[in-house]
Amino acid sequence: MDLQNLATIRNNIKTIPDYPKPGIQFRDVTSLIEHGEAFSLAISLLTEPFKNAGITKVVGTEARGFIFGAPVALALGVGFVPVRKPNKLPRETIDETYELEYGMDTLELHVDAIEPGDKVLLVDDLLATGGTIEATAKLVRRMGGEVVGASFVISLPDIGGEQRLVEHGIECHYLCQ
Ligand code: PRP
Ligand code: ADE
């Protein structure tokens, strides 16, 4: 990536030590989205590799995946599908339980939001263990969608998320490490 663009992204992400638990270096993207130019750049860079990939839906995972996923969907001219924490979606859902860097969680998808043959781009702010996006990909695949790739603002390289996702057939794109 262009070094100036990389600097704009990196310089606008704050690191909070020991949040939400001791030992976690929390990479905070709220500082990035508060900066209009950096937010807009992030959306362009998240979208760029998938412009000609025939994407039909963007799926974003609650909550920070919504912030980046919805503008990426608009940039690609396709619909946005939210994957949510339990009991938030009103229609019939399927669910997957997964492990986080700091706990367990369950995610749900509306059964009619992904159709067989949909070409899906997954979007989230950050890749850590890969558990969130692996669970999201499982939900999409259970409905017959094809996961074309996953686009993140940040990948934490020491935790092994990228390798885990690649092993599950998910191509990863990220803006910084
Ligand atoms: C964070 C982050 C990613 C996920 C990454 O979300 O926004 O979705 O963790 O971790 P993983 O690769 O180990 O799964 P979190 O579950 O904290 O939810 P939030 O966006 O609602 O804060
Ligand atoms: N989600 C999981 N790990 C995280 C981290 N280190 N910073 C921000 N969000 C996260």
Tens of pLDDT along the chain (177 residues)? 899 999 999 999 999 999 999 999 999 999 999 999 999 999 999 999 999 999 999 999 999 999 999 999 999 999 999 999 999 999 999 999 998 766 799 999 999 999 999 999 999 999 999 999 999 999 999 999 999 999 999 999 999 999 999 999 999 999 999
Give 112 Cα–ligand 2 centroid separation in angstroms.
30
Closest residue (by CA) to atom 4 of ligand 2? 26
Long-range contacts of 25-34 (CB under 8 A, 24+ apart): 27/126, 27/154, 27/156, 29/64, 29/67, 29/125, 29/126, 29/153, 29/154, 32/153, 33/67
Closest approach atom of ligand 1 to CA 129: 13
Give 21 Cα–ligand 2 centroid separation in angstroms.
11
CA distance 74 to 43: 10
- pTM as predicted: 0.97
The letter for the amino acid at 10 is R
pLDDT at residue 1, as a whole number:
80
Whether residue 131 has its Cβ less than 6 Å from ligand 1? yes
Give 126 Cα–ligand 1 centroid separation in angstroms.
7
CA distance 39 to 36: 5
Residue identified by tokens 């492990």 is 99
ipTM greater than 0.95: yes
124 near 47, Cβ under 8 Å?
no
The letter for the amino acid at 170 is I
pLDDT at residue 101, as a whole number:
64
Mutate to test the pocket of ligand 1, among 26, 28, 61, 138 (most ligand atoms within 8 A of CB): 61
70 near 47, Cβ under 8 Å?
no
Residue 174 tokens read as 């990220």
